[in-house]
Amino acid sequence: MRVDFYFDYLSPYAYLASREVPALCARQGVELRLRPVLFAGLLDHWGQRGPAEIPPKAAHTIKECMRYALLREIPCRPPRHHPFNPLTALRASLAEVAGDDQPRVVRAIYDLGWGAGGDLGDAAEITAALDAAGLDGPAIVDRANSPQAKQALRRETAAAIARGVFGIPTILAGDELFWGLDQLVYLELFLEGKDPLARVKFDEFDFQGPSAWRTGVSRHGED
């Protein structure tokens, strides 16, 4: 079993999940792969708005994440700007760019933004944070700006969409999808072979699809 962790630095939920998923995977003895993707690309594909684009939801999100972090003593200080342009941070975090240092790169960038309140849209701050973590910041950011890195992020995002990823954070354990920070408990049960859904016989449900649809909203994949 392999666990793929799809994230974008824009999401505080993804930050908090990133602090817990590595230990969870270590407990379960499964491989963890970090998969940076462009959240805006997911939103565009599925026709959604992000939480930061709905003011009351944005305020609720920050409060909820701060409560979660404070109860668990996880450092949490929102980035200086939000939303911000995450492209440099995401490209620097690609396996094709960071190589074997990918977990350290991701942690350093998260610590900069959601741990210390830095600007995750500023290449200079990202470079300095990587240097402070003992990495070669200028070289990593330089590779992140290459055409190859730009194309790699597009591929990662397209591949995520093809696997049904619609939000951040998303965790795929094999082909089983878990979306959101609150799904970590279910992920662990699944990896332990204790998924409650294993007892459910979905073919016995008489589900025949929707009988009403909101005006102005097209079903995905239909004109």
Identify the CATH number of the domain in which residue 150 sits: 3.40.30.10
Residue 215 located in a structural domain: no
Element housing 180 (H / E):
none
**Total of domains in the chain:** 1
Q: Is the pLDDT at 126 greater than 80, yes or no?
A: yes
Percent of the chain residues topping a pLDDT of 90? 89
The reported pLDDT for the residue numbered 222 is 57
Bridge partners of 34, per DSSP, are 5
Residue 191 located in a structural domain: yes
Tokens matching residue 55: 């003011």
User: 2 near 122, Cβ under 8 Å?
Assistant: no
The residue-averaged pLDDT of 151-180 equals 98
In angstroms, the CA 114 to CA 66 distance is: 10
Element housing 35 (H / E):
strand 31-36
Instruction: Give me the residue label for tokens 């944005």.
Output: 58
Residue 189 located in a structural domain: yes
Q: Is the pLDDT at 217 greater than 50, yes or no?
A: yes
Residue 87 located in a structural domain: yes
User: 50 near 61, Cβ under 8 Å?
Assistant: no
Residue 120 located in a structural domain: yes
Residue 222 located in a structural domain: no
pLDDT class for 223, splitting at 50, 70, 90?
A: very low
Q: Is the pLDDT at 39 greater than 60, yes or no?
A: yes
Residue 128 located in a structural domain: yes
In angstroms, the CA 70 to CA 113 distance is: 17
Mean pLDDT of the chain, nearest integer: 95
Q: pLDDT tens-digit profile of 194-216?
A: 999 999 988 888 888 888 988 87
By residue range, what is the domain housing residue 34?
A: 2-201
Residue 208 located in a structural domain: no
